[in-house]
Chain A
Amino acid sequence: MAQSIAYVRESSEPEDLPPDLYQGAVAWLKTNLFSSMASSLTTLVFVGLMIWVVPPLVAWATTNAVWAAPDGEACRQHQDGACWAFIGAKFDYLRFGSYPSAERWRVNVTEAIGGAVILWLLWPNARRRGIAALLFFFAYPILAFLLVHGSERLGLPIVDTLLWGGMFVTLLTALVAIVFSLPLGMLLALGRRSQLPVVRLAAVIFIEFVRGVPFITVLFMANTMLPLFLPEQWTPDRLLRPLVGIVLFSAAYMAEEVRGGLQAIRRGQYEGAMALGLHYPLMMALVILPQALAVVLPGIVNNFVGLFMDTTLVSIVGMTDFLEAMNNAFKDPVWSGPSVTTTGYVFAGMVYFAFCYSMARYSAFVERSLAKGRSA
């Protein structure tokens, strides 16, 4: 072993590069854009379309756009460009609605805390996520309500819900929906898998009923019928009624997600928990649900993306969410004009896309890491 043989190489020759046709830009083009007659034709058509469509779009968004203007006059004159000045002028309204300027820091603080807690909760392999969950589902909603609504005892003036609006209401609606609908959905999912026929029937009827009707009818129902079904003196707040509707609606969808997770848990887990002497609530809380929720986290996040987009419908019952704030802003005669409308919707689209797409990516990431964990 130790002796060396003169005619045996000790290091290998440097490898030859593969022929040009099999690597590099040319090969990439050949396999991905011009692999066949049809593919080449598609490529040419697409390139042609892009040359036709892309430059005007870019010009609309940048060079032709009005970036700063005191009012809508410049935008009405430059119809072929975006009116970003409008977004700048209405930014605070789109963010907070009519929430009093002096108190807006409260919304900012609430959202910052919420963001931090959510980050902790969803960070992969973060420590003590249980604490984050407790904070998010119990402490944070109370804190957020006190901060945003106000409390005389804390020296924060009360801000009427009539003044709430903009992105803040969209985020608030989504937050309330997830905080209440996930636990409710878990209960419903357990109910649907219960061995007690009455419990199962009640859960099935609720879930299938809610999933069978459009969201908008649930909102209408919460808005017009909730006051009818309660004693007159209880008349719920204007903002609270649609929130009840959203929570009930999304709970039915969350229940189906969680049920999927429960079905993925092997029988042995139940039997093991029972062998340890755990009764039903403890078995679910300590053994089954933690595993089931980990499996369906991507599904829950995807569901939440849908929920986040559905919050736009609340404007039908008089809430001023982000999209409705945008619609209101169009009506300002100082700014109104066709290019303002287009710009506003494009901007709103970018904002919703930023939220939803990042959540969708997160969900895909968790799904991949779960799959990896399972195969390893």
Chain B
Amino acid sequence: MEVSETRFNDPKLRGLAYQAALILVLGGLIAFGVYNAYGNMIARGIPLGFSFWNEVAGFQINLHLIPYSAMSTYGRAFWVGLLNTLLVGAVSIPLATAIGFAIGAARLSPNWLLSRFALAYTNVLRNTPLLLQLLFWYNAVLRTLPGPRESLTLHNIVFLNNRGVFLPLPVPRQPAISFALSLLLAVALVAVFRLWAKRRQERTGALSPVFGFAAAAMIGLPALAALATGAPFSFEMPKLSGFNLKGGVQVIPEMAALVFGLVTFTGAFIAEIVRAGILSVPRGQFEAAGALGLHRGLAMRLVILPQAIRLIIPPLTSQYLNLIKNSSLAVFVGYPDLVQIFAGTVLNQTHAAVQVMAITMAVYLAISLLVAAALNAYNASQALRER
């Protein structure tokens, strides 16, 4: 067969041609979209700029970490929503991590019942939709709880009813100086003890109870200070007054359902990651640790986990991101997060769909990119250093 040599057989030229074509097509699509959007927005009287940002919102939000009222602006509502999203993330991520590590460890337990329970937990939660779980917790569990007068309670400290969860609120008292000082002293003592213990171990090989000492100092010293000068905090207890509980911290039912649902769901995924991470450490490492005389707990802490954590961290971070993104399901249970307030109410009131959606997506994208950058930096520092 004759091979014809044309300019188009030059891979460089051909590549340039393909790329130019792609730019033309994508550019054309974008121009087409912008042109239509401009025409449609003018025709429907949709605002084109961001002037809505400073207009009065005129709606209430039942959970706000910064001052907010119906007279506040849409811009203020955006910050309220963003903070509420971050609040759910900040509360849920540590809890989900704790549940995940506990269930993951339980899956590897030598106790058959415990490992079967962990297996059932991960299978059920991972194979049913998160939305269904949230609706279940909110509609079928929290909303059917008794009213404030018949609250379920734990020794009158924690209350649970259909208005949410009520917790005691710590209120700092005036003479907190001694408390702060004792805490500082404890930290200093622990640091010195650690240094001494390390020197001693290097010299003689003997281990010192660093953890026990730290725990005793951190709890004991402030406790002594409290005994001497009076408690640094008083707890404001929720109390029944009229038809509702007053005082303490009220966790609204929407938030309780959202946090509980996110934590149990994400915990199941984290458990699988932890299990896979621990199992990926070769058996020989367990056996070598045992041969060195380390018992199960120490072998785990000193030999296995430091190796497993390298494999656990990357998927764990992506679970954290998933949790933040999944918190947008708040819309379905009425928790006022960024999507519910901003991409919901604000969008419907201002009709500024393009601007509002762009801002909302940019926020999530920024969070994702920031976390990804942090993860990359961590990975670089943790990577195996080989010769």
Chain A residues packing against B (C-beta within 8 Å): 31-33, 35-36, 39, 42-43, 46-47, 195-199, 202, 208-209, 211-217, 220-221, 224-225, 227-232, 305, 309-310, 312-313, 316, 323, 327, 338, 341-342, 345, 348-349, 352-353, 356-357, 360
* Contact A221 B361, beta carbon cutoff 8 Å: yes
* Contact A309 B365, beta carbon cutoff 8 Å: no
B130 on interface, CB distance cutoff 8 Å: yes
Contact A349/B111 with A228-B354, A229-B33 known, Cβ cut-off 8 Å: no
Contact A232/B111 with A217-B328, A327-B135, A345-B135 known, Cβ cut-off 8 Å: no
**What 0/1 pattern do residues 159 to 187 of B give for CB contact below 8 A with A?**
00000000000000000000000000000
- The distance in angstroms between the C-alpha atoms of A217 and B360, with both chains bound, is 8
Q: Which residues of A contact B26 (CB under 8 A)?
A: 202
Q: List 23 A-B contacts (CB under 8 A).
A: A35-B111, A39-B110, A42-B113, A46-B117, A197-B19, A199-B18, A199-B19, A202-B26, A209-B361, A214-B326, A214-B339, A217-B328, A217-B357, A217-B361, A220-B343, A225-B354, A230-B33, A309-B131, A341-B140, A345-B135, A349-B128, A352-B129, A357-B127
**What 0/1 pattern do residues 103 to 138 of B give for CB contact below 8 A with A?**
000000111111001000001101111111101100
Q: Which residues of A contact B326 (CB under 8 A)?
A: 214
Least CB distance from A105 to B in Å reads: 29
B64 on interface, CB distance cutoff 8 Å: no
- The distance in angstroms between the C-alpha atoms of A327 and B353, with both chains bound, is 28
Contact A231/B144 with A211-B368, A360-B127 known, Cβ cut-off 8 Å: no
Least CB distance from B112 to A in Å reads: 4
Least CB distance from A268 to B in Å reads: 21
B36 on interface, CB distance cutoff 8 Å: yes
B37 on interface, CB distance cutoff 8 Å: yes
* Contact A221 B357, beta carbon cutoff 8 Å: yes
Contact A312/B129 with A229-B33, A229-B36 known, Cβ cut-off 8 Å: yes
Q: Which residues of A contact B353 (CB under 8 A)?
A: 224-225, 228
* Contact A310 B129, beta carbon cutoff 8 Å: yes
- The distance in angstroms between the C-alpha atoms of A197 and B20, with both chains bound, is 11
* Contact B139 A345, beta carbon cutoff 8 Å: yes
Chain B residues packing against A (C-beta within 8 Å): 15, 18-19, 22-23, 26, 32-34, 36-37, 39-41, 43, 46, 109-114, 117, 123-124, 126-133, 135-136, 139-140, 144, 325-326, 328-329, 331-332, 339, 343, 347, 353-354, 357, 360-361, 364-365, 368-369
20 A-B pairs besides A211-B368, A225-B357 with CB distance below 8 A are A32-B110, A33-B113, A42-B111, A209-B365, A212-B369, A213-B365, A215-B328, A216-B328, A217-B357, A220-B347, A224-B347, A228-B46, A229-B33, A231-B36, A232-B39, A313-B329, A316-B332, A327-B135, A338-B140, A353-B128
* Contact A345 B365, beta carbon cutoff 8 Å: no
- The distance in angstroms between the C-alpha atoms of A202 and B20, with both chains bound, is 12
Q: Which residues of A contact B33 (CB under 8 A)?
A: 229-230
Least CB distance from A340 to B in Å reads: 10
Q: Which residues of A contact B131 (CB under 8 A)?
A: 309, 312-313, 323
Measured CB to CB, the nearest residue on chain B to A44 is: B113
Measured CB to CB, the nearest residue on chain A to B351 is: A224
Cβ-defined partner of A353 (8 Å) among B124, B136, B331, B343: B124
Least CB distance from B29 to A in Å reads: 9
- The distance in angstroms between the C-alpha atoms of A199 and B18, with both chains bound, is 9
Least CB distance from B241 to A in Å reads: 27
Q: Which residues of B contact A36 (CB under 8 A)?
A: 110
- The distance in angstroms between the C-alpha atoms of A32 and B114, with both chains bound, is 10
* Contact A32 B369, beta carbon cutoff 8 Å: no
Measured CB to CB, the nearest residue on chain B to A229 is: B33
Least CB distance from A187 to B in Å reads: 12
* Contact A323 B129, beta carbon cutoff 8 Å: yes
Least CB distance from B362 to A in Å reads: 9
